[in-house]
A and B are shown apart, each in its own frame.
Chain A
Amino acid sequence: MASSAIKSGALVTLPELNPSSQFFEEGASLRVTGKLQEYSVETAIAIIADGSAILKIDTQHLRDLSFRVGSIYQFIGELHIQLDNEAILRARVGRNVDGLDLNLYHQSLQLLRQFKADHMSGTTT
């Protein structure tokens, strides 16, 4: 079935996305969240930030999404590592998530990962 080839974007925070991270891999499907710092209409490149961590997002494939510096966005796409070891996410899905409780998001993400790890090892109780 064609649609099953659509890979899930693994949940990752920008501070976790460094070269030593398991997520920092060419072609990795990721979901990232951050505040829009810059956006270039000419190149369709956005830069999002979470604390001091930043990530470039290639938004050329996105439609019907308006960009506002200072707003929070979430993107799903594939990571590409450039020659200088800088990463850029080629987004296939994007949305504005202004109002997202980032503290709740980060804490829940840790719980979710723990649950998934327990589930995979068969010890969910």
Chain B
Amino acid sequence: MEHSPPKSLQNTHVKLLAFDLLSLTPTPDPTTFSRFGKLLLSRVEILGTITSRDYKPNKFLKFTIDDGTGSVPCLLWLNHLNSPYFSRRDPPTVRLIANVAAGFAAQIKIGVVCRLRGKIGSYRGEVQVTVSDIVIEKDPNVEVLHWLDCVRLARKCYDVVSNLN
């Protein structure tokens, strides 16, 4: 049987359930992860309840999101004003990015339901999401609708893209 190369949805924030995200496998490219060896992903959108919070001021906020199918470790960087990575960039822009991140950190509290987008990465061999955007959800039905979105997209899109020859 002929093997087709994996398809890619790397430029999309793919909606995934936690158990699906946590089962992704790394590839030789550290920014890319594989779903069943058939679909390459780099960005994700997840939604769930915040169940832990580890805050290091001016460094990072680590937290976990539980959607009922798994717990996803997430990382929000807060080191923009003292990181050499940002020192060569336009200072007002860096301050703006730092303020946005600080605003996100203030909203992340245990028990709130949060939708987030970010880059898929790994830390000590486990999948971790580096956060780029956060929205706190107030509607109690939003988590259920997210489950249904994820199931529909997996069945009608991700699996279909994976199987295209």
Interface residues of A (CB under 8 A from B): 1-4, 6-11, 31, 62, 64-65, 72, 76, 92-95, 97-101, 104-105, 108, 111-112, 115-116, 119, 122, 124-125
Contacts and interface: CB of A to CB of B under 8 A. Distances in A.
A112 B69 contact: yes
Contact of A8 (B18, B139, B155): B18
A48 B17 CA distance: 27
A93 B159 contact: no
Contacts of A7: 71
Contacts of A4: 64, 71, 73, 126
B49 A95 contact: yes
- Sorted from nearest, which 9 A-B pairs have the closest CB atoms? A97-B140, A100-B140, A11-B68, A8-B71, A6-B52, A115-B151, A125-B159, A6-B64, A108-B144
B154 A115 contact: yes
B68 A9 contact: yes
Contacts, number: 103
A119 B50 CA distance: 25
B86 interface: no
Contacts of B111: 62, 64-65, 93-95
B52 A124 contact: no
Q: What band does the interface of chain B fall in when counting residues whose beta carbon is under 8 Å from A?
A: 35 or more
A124 B155 CA distance: 6
Contacts of B69: 8, 11, 112, 116
Contacts of B110: 92-93
Given A3-B62, A4-B73, 8 more contacts: A1-B123, A4-B71, A31-B66, A95-B111, A100-B140, A105-B141, A111-B147, A124-B159
A122 B36 contact: yes
19 contacts: A1-B124, A2-B62, A3-B73, A6-B51, A8-B67, A9-B68, A76-B66, A93-B111, A99-B139, A99-B141, A100-B141, A100-B144, A101-B141, A112-B17, A112-B151, A119-B154, A124-B154, A125-B160, A125-B163
Greatest chain A CB density within 10 A among B68, B69, B73, B123 is at B68
B140 A93 contact: no
A89 to B, nearest CB: 14
Contact of B155 (A11, A122, A125): A125
A3 B141 contact: no
Given A6-B66, A111-B148, A93 B51 contact: yes
Contact of B140 (A3, A76, A98, A112): A98
A112 B20 CA distance: 12
Interface string B42-60: 0000000111101000000
